[in-house]
């Protein structure tokens, strides 16, 4: 696995009604929802390493630790950045941060695990 520490990616999001705590049913205010912040951090982490993985491999989420520090209003652009902090076997640990026009809105860590996509899907339990 050629993923290296220091690899990084950033992703942007223009906050819309669909990204709010109300839309995600995680609160009653029309600001960027914490679940959406987490998803954005996961997207940045995935994006940071995906090009370096072997054919048929992907990463899946294992652990997320986020401190959501400040609200972001509809219409603001937020940017999540993920940086590979450490690699331990198949586990990749990232530091993540999210900013908007006013500054830092979230910080944390994300751990993702490298898996063979087909093998991983074979382990998924069907509801049939």
DSSP string of 47-98? HHHGGGSPTTEEEEEEEEEEEE-S--BTT-EEEEEEEEEEEETTEEEEEEEE
Q: How many CA atoms lie within 13 A of 119 on its CB side?
A: 8
In the chain the domains, ranked by start, together with CATH numbers, are 8-123 (3.10.129.10)
User: What pLDDT was estimated at residue 128?
Assistant: 58
> Mind listing the pLDDT tens digit for each residue in 28-53?
999 999 999 999 999 999 999 999 99
- Give me the phi and psi of 51, to 5 degrees please: -65, -20
> Mind listing the pLDDT tens digit for each residue in 67-126?
999 999 999 999 999 999 999 999 999 999 999 999 999 999 999 999 999 999 998 876
């Amino acid at each position: 696995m050629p993923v290296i520490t220091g690899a990084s990616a950033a992703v942007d999001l223009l906050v819309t009604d669909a990204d709010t705590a109300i839309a995600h049913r995680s609160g009653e205010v029309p600001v960027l929802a914490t679940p959406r912040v987490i998803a954005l951090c996961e997207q940045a982490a995935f994006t940071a390493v995906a090009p370096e993985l072997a054919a048929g491999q992907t990463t899946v989420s294992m652990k997320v630790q986020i401190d959501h520090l400040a609200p972001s209003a509809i219409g603001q652009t937020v940017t999540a950045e993920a940086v590979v902090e450490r690699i331990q076997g198949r586990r990749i640990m990232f530091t993540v941060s999210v900013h908007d026009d006013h500054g830092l809105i979230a910080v944390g860590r994300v751990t993702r695990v490298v898996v063979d996509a087909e093998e991983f899907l074979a382990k998924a339990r069907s509801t049939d």
